[in-house]
Amino acid sequence: MDDQSISPTYASPPSGQVTTGPIEGSVKVWSSPPGRDDIRVPFRDIALDPSANEPPVRIYDTSGPYTDPTAAIDVERGLPRVRSAWLATRGLDATAETRVVKPEDNGFVSADRLVPSCPAPHGVLRGRTGQPVTQYEFARAGIVTEEMIFVAHRENLGRATMVDGAEERRADGEDFGANIPAFITPEFVRDEIAAGRAIIPANINHPELEPVIIGRNFLVKINANIGNSAVTSSAAEEVDKLVWAIRWGADTVMDLSTGRNIHNIRDWILRNSPVPIGTVPLYQALEKVGGVAEKLSWEIFRDTLIEQAEQGVDYFTIHAGVRLQHVPLTAHRTTGIVSRGGSIMAAWCLAHHRESFLYEHFEDICDIMRAYDISFSLGDGLRPGSIADANDAAQFAELETLGELTKVAWSKGCQVMIEGPGHVPMHKIKINMTKQLRECGEAPFYTLGPLTTDIAPGYDHITSGIGAAMIGWYGCAMLCYVTPKEHLGLPDRNDVKVGVITYKIAAHAADLAKGHPAAQVRDDAISRARFEFRWHDQFNLALDPDTARQFHDETLPKEAHKTA
Amino acid sequence: MDDQSISPTYASPPSGQVTTGPIEGSVKVWSSPPGRDDIRVPFRDIALDPSANEPPVRIYDTSGPYTDPTAAIDVERGLPRVRSAWLATRGLDATAETRVVKPEDNGFVSADRLVPSCPAPHGVLRGRTGQPVTQYEFARAGIVTEEMIFVAHRENLGRATMVDGAEERRADGEDFGANIPAFITPEFVRDEIAAGRAIIPANINHPELEPVIIGRNFLVKINANIGNSAVTSSAAEEVDKLVWAIRWGADTVMDLSTGRNIHNIRDWILRNSPVPIGTVPLYQALEKVGGVAEKLSWEIFRDTLIEQAEQGVDYFTIHAGVRLQHVPLTAHRTTGIVSRGGSIMAAWCLAHHRESFLYEHFEDICDIMRAYDISFSLGDGLRPGSIADANDAAQFAELETLGELTKVAWSKGCQVMIEGPGHVPMHKIKINMTKQLRECGEAPFYTLGPLTTDIAPGYDHITSGIGAAMIGWYGCAMLCYVTPKEHLGLPDRNDVKVGVITYKIAAHAADLAKGHPAAQVRDDAISRARFEFRWHDQFNLALDPDTARQFHDETLPKEAHKTA
């Protein structure tokens, strides 16, 4: 591959910096809902060639201020705290004693290898008992929050014109019982959250967040996982993994870092993240006991939850559905327990021969997560790791437990989504969605793929993109990406981009099939551009303008070929 | 990207040669059905680590003798003519006068640029009236041919053990009314062909062919398109495009070459192809009239059919469903007519304001194709080129015409499959399959994707791989690949490989979902290898062992990491 074929945007930014600059062909815009100039919702506008005689196409945008050329980006200062003013009116406790950072939080890193903490100012808030804190509690109380107004405006893509033909588009789709309205109002958002059908993961200690809603009556969302490198050259390098993933469309990012410096790196990520950050606190708790599962305890886990809660993590994967009684159900599996969290909890249960401390302390966990409005992502520790194990007794027993826990979490005022598989052949995907909706009272489903065959390592973004598109269509609210390196190694910069773009395809294909009234606008615009040979418009409207342009230029590099 | 990350198999072979050598980790084997040592069916065996204590996994193999280290490959001599002895017993006419090559056949190429004709010997056969020639005619007469015996053995993957658990696997799948037996007998093959539900594209002038069956009660097949380069450096370079595509799993290859030397290049390809070759004769006919559609005539088209028939092309795309009355139905489309064949015929109909000569001469076309047993691939000239145009009146009107023509072709003794879309959102895919089965009497369906969204140029192997997997599950018999360069430019060597692997994933995911009794064996073997950290076995069982190994080695390059 020669230099010409490497897009400049694939290159890493200079040391100490993150990737900035507009996405090719797009202009970052901020739009406010009527009467709420204090709420600025991000979009991208793609202007078309004058010959098209069409207005710009407005696109949902997750990339934060990084793609706004007028924004001053400084990872040491962090992003603007857009939610601070909203949070200031909610009677939250800003004076409570906060947790002190301990050596084990950063994996006992030696002083010479310590990544310093992020200097961006960060005050810690905590909810009070008896007053609403979570979006769920506000919604149940009939209150519309600024976050709800924000996501309503965001989901509508700011286009009043979307209402035209919206009913026809919905009728033309097949949504399997979902209920996507022609226009999203803040009240609709509130009602969906109150019903438990949607969540806005938004820790009160993450004021930098641009809120996003996850639920099957909204645009399908995608998550990208990132993790620290074995040797970190700088905090900015870790932040750039986030920036890179959201540049291409990740709606949320899970930080799955392990080992040294993870507390401080998490701080840098949160202070610089416009998207919800999820974690698996169990991973850090395990680090604190030297990686020995049986040494885990409720006390260490609880302390880790508070540590991450104060930092501002927006959702926690909690593997409370792996019960002692479920472990024997995996004995005859082809691939046993493949979830890391599931393996840890199964090992703990077997070592102590007692019920999981996550299950036993579930109400305590709810109390902590409610106090910061951290959403549950109830982990599927027993998800199938192969086609052979799909939809087996272990998987479904856990799902039934997750349904039971969902109701507990709701009763405690928490927002909840449910994690799902995994490896599932096409004909067994729909039952996963149907059963999840039934068992978990329509709480949002959040699946990894699923991968529709096991035989293509190196291409599992594709084996899983097929399953992701299908389950998104059937009603899955968020799709966790899989990169080409799945099963083989750690993804690099290009793998992350390919994974994100593949999942944007899956999510968008699902939106189209559901008859989402706003989805086909972009397809129609790019199809008209294609038919009229407006090449620049076709590139700019693409999910990945750089690659589209590069592929075209490889064979037809002349400017004349782009406007012909 | 550094040199290490480029797999050696991505490199082109030396000038004048084609890609040879075993697929990493596989051994080419030839197996004969009981009592028929004259029929040698190709497979690949993947031996597993002794610690697995498992027999080798036998894989369907399309790569021909090129991956057999014991085979002497010489493109000037062509492949062994494995069918000659079978054909010799069928009373075919080997003495009829044959067509003489004309200057226009090679695009009036000048002498200095002429690619010489392939020196491999090639006698021309023709069927006689009143005697069976086609596989369809033999099947209707109750006769089992060698081709039927060959494909039966091939589909069973030579494993008697496949019968164990086959009924359970079938019952576990969802096949939408298909009828995949636990074990494929030659008589079952015959009956499927006689019913029109399957075809074996096998021109009597293509003796080098290793027969393959296409039908929804068999393994899902994939096609790769190739085309000549603007400047051909050698005939071997063109043959290598075929060899490269079948190495990774293409079941058939369509030669869509245009311009100079296409007659001679087609000769080289056919003499060296173990897989069925398809063409669109209309493309060459258009070249002969200087690219001006209105100058086309039945006489020129007819002459081109005979030219290619004598060379040995196994199936022809015939766009006889584009009727004059259909053209106005496309007037208000977003992307008009995107099929090249469809555009040519629509232009001809409008220019002359008369019915398509392909439609009017359809019975004459049948007579020619029957005489050589060339299968019909009835082209979908009005397939949708965008989500907006999916399943519209033009598309379905043409499909109904194709159903009518299918019955004519059968009455003339011909084998038939039907081409399908195109760009179709997920929720509109199934109706395409259902309607095709109904309109076309269950003749095999052969679709391009479909692409499930328009917004991802550069990734259309993925947008279409999603749709291909789904329609394959629903009953589509063959999936025409789409490469990452779709809509943007001509695919290079890597694009062809990525397209083929993506479609192998789609076809295999479909086989799994249908409950094909032989499909999950490979998934189970690779999953066990994964669970037991048998890395070499995991790589070797992968659809693309080279990429799996390379991705793994990028992050964990030590040998110890592969056997741990």
Contacting residues of A for B544, CB less than 8 Å apart: 456, 458-459
Cβ pair B425:A543 closer than 8 A? no
Q: Is the per-residue pLDDT at B346 higher than 80?
A: yes
B528 to chain A: closest CA residue = A334
Q: Which residues of A175-207 are buried (b: 16+ CB within 10 A; e: fewer)?
A: bbebebebebebebbbbbbbbbbbbbbbbbbbb
Q: Which of B466, B513, B514 lies closest to A469 in CB terms? A: B466
CB contact under 8 A, A462 and B463: no
Kindly give the residue spans of alpha helices, DSSP state H, lying in A163-204: 166-172, 186-194
Q: Find the CB nearest A548 among B458, B461, B520.
A: B458
Q: Cα separation of B140 and B124, whole Å?
A: 25
CB–CB of A538 and B487 under 8 A?
yes
Cα separation, B477 vs B471, whole angstroms: 9
- For the segment B406-412, the average pLDDT, to the nearest whole number, is 98
The confidence score (pLDDT) of residue B162 equals 56
Can you tell me the ipTM of this complex?
Answer: 0.95
Shortest Cα–Cα distance, B157 to chain A (Å): 17
Q: Does residue A459 contact residue A484 with C-beta atoms inside 8 Å? A: yes
Confidence check: pLDDT of B216 > 80: yes
> Which residues in chain A touch residue B484, judged by CB atoms under 8 angstroms apart?
551
Which of these, B280, B224, B218, B215, lies nearest to B251 by C-alpha position? B224
B343: helix, strand or coil: helix
Closest of A442, A344, A318, A338 to residue A392, by C-alpha: A338
pLDDT of residue B517: 86
Give the closest of B453, B531, B539 to A336, CB-based: B531
Give the residue on A whose Cα is nearest the Cα of B537.
Answer: A455
Per CB-CB distance under 8 Å, the chain A contacts of B510 are: 426
Q: In chain A, what residues touch B501 (CB-CB under 8 Å)?
A: 456, 459
Question: Cβ separation of A453 and B527 shorter than 8 Å?
Answer: no
Predicted pLDDT of residue B15: 82
**Distance in Å, alpha carbon of B87 to nearest chain A alpha carbon:** 38
Determine if residue B219 is left, alpha or beta; phi over 0 gives left, psi from -120 to 50 gives alpha, anything else beta: beta
The whole-number pLDDT of residue A518 equals 85
Contact flag B457-A489 (C-beta cutoff 8 Å):
no
Task: Tell me whether strands A445-448 and B315-318 are parallel, antiparallel or unpaired.
Answer: unpaired
| Residue range B443-480, pLDDT digits in tens | 999 999 999 999 999 999 999 999 999 999 999 999 99
**Cβ contact A427–B174 (<8 Å):** yes
Q: What's the CA gap between B289 and B285, in Å, rounded?
A: 7
Chain A neighbors of B6, CB-CB under 8 A: 1
Nearest chain A residue to B515 by CA distance is A427
A426, A489, A528: residue with CB nearest B334: A528
Q: What is the DSSP string of A469-535?
A: HHHHHHT-SEEE---TTTTTS---HHHHHHHHHHHHHHHHHHHHHHT-TTTHHHHHHHHHHHHTT-H
The burial of A80, by beta-carbon neighbours within 10 Å (0-12 exposed, 13-18 middle, 19 or more buried), is given as middle
Task: Determine the Cα–Cα distance for residues B289 and B283; give it in Å rounded to an integer.
Answer: 10
Dist. CA B477–CA B507, nearest whole Å: 9
B interface test, pick of A175, A176, A551, A553 with most B CB neighbours within 10 Å:
A551
Mutate to test the interface with B, among A3, A12, A462, A496 (most CBs of B within 10 A): A462
Residue carrying structure tokens 């062992």: B545
Token pair listed for B310: 């004598």
Q: What's residue A95's pLDDT?
A: 84
Three-class HEC string of A62-115: CCHHHHCCCCCCCCCCCCCCCCHHHHCCCCCECCCCCCCCCHHHHCCCCHHHCC
| CB of B387 closer than 8 Å to CB of B425 | yes
Are A466 and B466 a contacting pair at CB < 8 A? yes
Q: What percent helix, strand, coil does chain A show, rounded to 5?
A: 45, 10, 45
Q: What is the pTM of this model?
A: 0.96
Q: Which among A1, A465, A543 is the nearest to B466, CB-wise?
A: A465
C-alpha B68, offset from chain centre: 21
Q: Verify whether the Cβ–Cβ distance B453 to A548 is below 8 Å.
A: no
Selected for mutation to probe chain A from B455, B492, B543 (highest A CB count within 10 Å) is B455
Contact A512 B452 (CB under 8 A): yes
pLDDT digits (tens, 9 = 90+) for B45-56: 999 999 999 999
Among B389, B504, B527, B544, pick the best mutation site for testing chain A contact (most A Cβ within 10 A): B527
Strand partners, A317: A377
CB-closest option in B334, B489, B508 to A453: B508
Cα three-residue angle B158-B504-A523, rounded to 5 degrees: 155
Span B12-49, pLDDT tens digits: 888 889 999 999 999 999 999 999 999 999 999 999 99
Q: SS3 breakdown of chain B: % helix, strand, coil, rounded to 5?
A: 45, 10, 45
List, in order, residues 6 or more apart from B473 with CB less than 8 Å away. Answer: A426, A427, B174, B176, B509, B510, B513, B514
Question: Looking at this protein, which amino acid is placed at residue B419?
Answer: E
CA distance B205 to A527: 42
Residue B4 has pLDDT above 60, yes or no: no
How far apart are alpha carbons B269 and B226 in whole angstroms? 11
Quote the pLDDT of residue B558.
Answer: 56
d(CA B495, CA B248): 12
Q: Are the C-beta atoms of residues B262 and B106 closer than 8 Å to each other?
A: yes
Q: Which residues of chain A fall short of a pLDDT of 70?
A: 1-10, 158-164, 231-233, 556-564
Angle at A335 (CA atoms; ends A333, A336), nearest 5 degrees? 65
Report which of A65, A94, A32, A419 is spatially closest to residue A209, judged by C-alpha positions. Answer: A65
User: Do B552 and A334 lie within an 8 Å CB cutoff?
Assistant: no
The nearest CA of chain B is from the CA of A111 a distance in Å of 28
Q: Do B531 and A465 touch (CB under 8 A)?
A: no
**B495, closest residue in chain A (CA to CA):** A551
How many beta-carbon pairs under 8 angstroms link A with B? 246
Which of chain A's residues have a Cβ under 8 Å away from the Cβ of B542?
A: 455-458
Kindly identify which residue of chain B lies nearest to residue A11, measuring between CA atoms.
B1
Instruction: Note the helical H segments in B295-416.
Output: 298-311, 340-352, 357-360, 362-372, 393-411
- Inter-chain touch A485–B555, beta carbons under 8 Å: yes
What is the model's pLDDT at position A177?
A: 84
Tokens at B328, concatenated: 């106005």
**Neighbour count for residue A493 (Cβ, 10 Å):** 16
| Closest alpha carbon within chain B to A537 | B455
Among A488, A498, A558, pick the best mutation site for testing chain B contact (most B Cβ within 10 A): A488
Give exposure, B404-418, as e/b (b: 16+ Cβ within 10 Å). ebbebbbebbbbbbb
Rounded Cα gap, residues A247 and A12, in angstroms? 13
Cβ-nearest to B426 among A469, A488, A502? A469
Could A515 and B387 be called an inter-chain contact, meaning their C-beta atoms sit closer than 8 Å? Answer: no
Q: At what angle do helices A262-271 and A235-247 cross, to 10 degrees?
A: 50
Partner residue facing B512 (CB), from A387, A469, A501: A387
Q: Tell me which residue has tokens 């750690």.
A: A490
Residue A230 to residue A233: CA distance in whole angstroms: 10
| Interchain CB distance below 8 Å, B541 and A455 | yes
Which residue is closest to B169 within chain A, CA to CA?
Answer: A388
Query: 3-state DSSP call for residue A45?
Result: strand
- To probe the interface with A, which of B332, B462, B558 has the most A CB atoms within 10 Å? B462
pLDDT in tens, B61-98: 999 999 999 999 999 999 999 999 999 999 999 988 89
Model confidence at B563, in pLDDT bands (50, 70, 90)?
very low
Mutation target vs B (from A4, A459, A486; most B CBs, 10 A cutoff)? A459
Chain A, nearest residue to B541 by Cα: A455
Angstrom distance (rounded) from CA B450 to CA B465: 8
The confidence band for B240, taking pLDDT boundaries of 50, 70 and 90, is very high
